[in-house]
Amino acid sequence: MTTATMAEEPAVFTPPQQYRVSGPGLLRSEWTKFWSLRSSWIVLVCAALFGAGIGMAVAADFRFGAEPSVEGGVTGLDVLFGFGIGAVFIAVLGALFITGEYTTGSIRSTMAAAPRRTGVLWSKAAVFASIVLAVYAALVFATFFATQALLADTHLGGMSLSDEGVLRVLTGYVVSTAYLGLLGLAIGAILRNSAGSISFYIGVVLLLPELATMLPWDWVAEVTPYAPGNAPNTLTWLDTTGATLSVGASWLWMGIWTAVSFGLAALLLKRRDV
């Protein structure tokens, strides 16, 4: 005698209302994750050392050392170039903020607690951007005031916030760093691998546009300013004369690349198993 069995559809578990993860709950969760990771503190310290440290060292060399001979057009804001280097650390931190969960497997717990996966991505982006904007704003403005005080008695002279273009450049350093960090986070969400995401950012986003300018084609030089890593450059230039992208165009292309990268990340996040 045979017994017929019916395959039943597994019941979908719906947590009670009081246990469902809300939007504010996701933000609190991502906030806690960020500050509980040692990598967050280490990378932020490295970014600060490169940005503020290099700026102070160069300004001190102008002030107390033998003033180096510089070409015309150099201003006191040029000592802040270290923040451009520090942005690489922030991009790496953005990638690690999400790939770390894939490495440890904790992403399964995250997605189980928040079935709406895109909500996790937006929460990570919001928390990460707010932290970077706050930390880098404090660093950039504090370094500006400190370096200009050192440069006041040099031939460069100290600059103030009221000088034309200064506030725009300082804001540009802060915003462009947050943008590059978000770009790293989106790449991490797409590739889901720490080493691969960091390699892709350094190789494709940073180095490839620079190497492409060596090719013997004029159109390449015209296109590279629109690359994701080059789009925010104009924001950090005091003199934008001759720049391919205007300040407004830089903002526009940063928005376009952010939307494209996070759009692809959200699409893949919903289609993948985890």
More confident residue, 71 or 171: 171
Contacts of range 57-65, beta carbons closer than 8 Å, 24 or more positions apart: 58/82, 58/147, 59/146, 59/147, 59/148, 59/150, 59/151, 60/150, 62/150, 62/151, 62/154, 62/156, 63/150, 63/151, 63/153, 63/154
Is position 91 within any domain? yes
Q: What's the whole-number mean pLDDT along residues 224-242?
A: 90
274 pLDDT band, cuts 50/70/90, is low
Domains contained in the chain, number = 1
What average pLDDT score do residues 76-91 get? Answer: 88
Confidence check: pLDDT of 258 > 60: yes
pLDDT at site 6: 46
Segment 62-91 shows an average pLDDT of: 76
Share of the chain above pLDDT 70, in %: 87
Please tell me the chain's helix, strand, coil percentages from 3-state DSSP, rounded to the nearest 5: 70, 0, 30
What is residue 1's predicted lDDT score, i.e. its pLDDT? 46
Can you give the residue range of the structural domain that contains 147? 23-64+75-198+225-271
Task: Please determine, for residue 247, whether its predicted confidence score (pLDDT) is greater than 80.
Answer: yes
Answer yes or no: is 11 within a domain.
Answer: no
266 is a domain residue = yes
Q: With bands split at pLDDT 50, 70 and 90, how would you rate the model's confidence at 136?
A: very high
> Is pLDDT of 4 > 50?
no
**At 71, phi and psi to the nearest 5?**
-75, 160
Burial pattern 121-156, b for ≥16 Cβ within 10 A else e, equals bbbbbbbbbebbeebbbebbbebbeebbebbeeeeb
pTM, two decimal places: 0.87
Cα separations (Å) of 274 from 1, 95, 102, 111? 43, 17, 9, 7
Q: Is residue 204, in this structure, part of any structural domain at all?
A: no
Q: Note the helical H segments in 105-202.
A: 107-113, 117-151, 166-191, 194-200
Mean pLDDT of 43-57: 90
User: What are the tokens at 256?
Assistant: 């376009």
Residue 205 in domain: no
130 domain residue, yes or no: yes
Segment 72-77 mean pLDDT: 67
Structure tokens at 57: 């060292």
How many residues in total does the chain contain? 274
219, part of any domain: no
**pLDDT tens digits, 6-37:** 445 555 445 555 556 677 888 998 999 999 98
Would 220 be classed as within a structural domain? no
Contact assessment for residue 160 and residue 234, using Cβ atoms and an 8 Å cutoff? no
217 against 223, higher pLDDT: 223
Quick one: DSSP state of residue 25? H
